[in-house]
């Protein structure tokens, strides 16, 4: 398990020069995270922090998620993410975690947010409805490549 973790979204790629060689670099957006729930060994069987990042309108949440954020007293965020840690001592619900808390040159586990997962389950798509509309019993064929 990790000692430190952060949540970020991939923005894009760029390159930089290191010792006369071009090195590819991934650009990340890391927003401050707010602790929503602390998981402990006694209660949950493992230690982790449940955090959220960004902001989301409370009216757009379903009731279970709205209640979860309200119980913690934390403003709703884009997504809930669990960061498994060796120890959760010193953390409190509602505390804000920023990238500045990681020592310069230190290592941290990175968890990718929405940008990396948005299109994970789309499946293969043909050229619109023209590819499958004329067939009988083919209402699911747009997810197949052949």
pLDDT digits (tens, 9 = 90+) for 82-101: 888 888 888 999 999 888 87
Predicted confidence (pLDDT) at residue 138 exceeds the cutoff of 60? no
User: How many angstroms separate the CA atoms of 16 and 26, rounded?
Assistant: 10
Residue 77 lies in a domain: yes
CA 68 to each of CA 9, 41, 72, 86, 98: distance values in angstroms, whole numbers, following the listed order:
23, 20, 6, 24, 22
State the pLDDT confidence band at 76, using cuts at 50, 70 and 90. Answer: very high
- CATH code where residue 41 lies: 3.30.160.810
* Paired strand residues for 112: 8
- Looking at residue 103, its pLDDT comes to 66
Based on the structure, what is the number of domains in the chain?
Answer: 1
Residue 131 lies in a domain: no
In this structure, are residues 131 and 142 in contact, taking their beta carbons and an 8 Å threshold? yes
- Looking at residue 5, its pLDDT comes to 77
pTM above 0.75, yes or no: no
Residue 123 lies in a domain: no
Residue 40 lies in domain: 5-112
Residue 103 lies in a domain: yes
Sign of CA dihedral 57, 114, 79, 125: positive
DSSP structural state of residue 84: E
State the pLDDT confidence band at 9, using cuts at 50, 70 and 90. Answer: confident
State the pLDDT confidence band at 74, using cuts at 50, 70 and 90. Answer: very high
Residue 117 lies in a domain: no
Residue 134 lies in a domain: no
Q: pLDDT of 19-64, one tens digit each? A: 999 999 988 888 899 999 999 999 999 999 999 998 889 889 999 9
Residue 142 lies in a domain: no
- Looking at residue 145, its pLDDT comes to 57
Residue 121 lies in a domain: no
């Amino acid at each position: 398990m990790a000692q430190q973790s952060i949540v970020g979204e991939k923005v894009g790629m760029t390159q930089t020069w290191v010792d006369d060689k071009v090195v590819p670099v991934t650009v990340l957006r890391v927003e401050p995270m707010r602790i929503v729930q602390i998981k402990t060994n006694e209660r949950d069987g493992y230690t982790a922090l449940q955090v959220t990042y960004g902001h989301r309108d409370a009216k757009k949440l379903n009731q279970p998620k709205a209640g979860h954020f309200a119980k913690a007293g934390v403003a709703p965020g884009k997504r809930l993410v669990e960061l498994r840690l060796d120890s959760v001592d010193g953390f409190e619900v509602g505390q804000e975690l920023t990238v500045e808390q990681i020592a310069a040159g230190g290592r941290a586990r990175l968890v990718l947010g929405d940008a990396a997962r948005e299109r994970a389950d789309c499946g293969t798509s043909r050229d619109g409805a023209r590819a499958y509309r004329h067939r009988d019993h083919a209402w699911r064929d747009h997810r197949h490549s052949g």
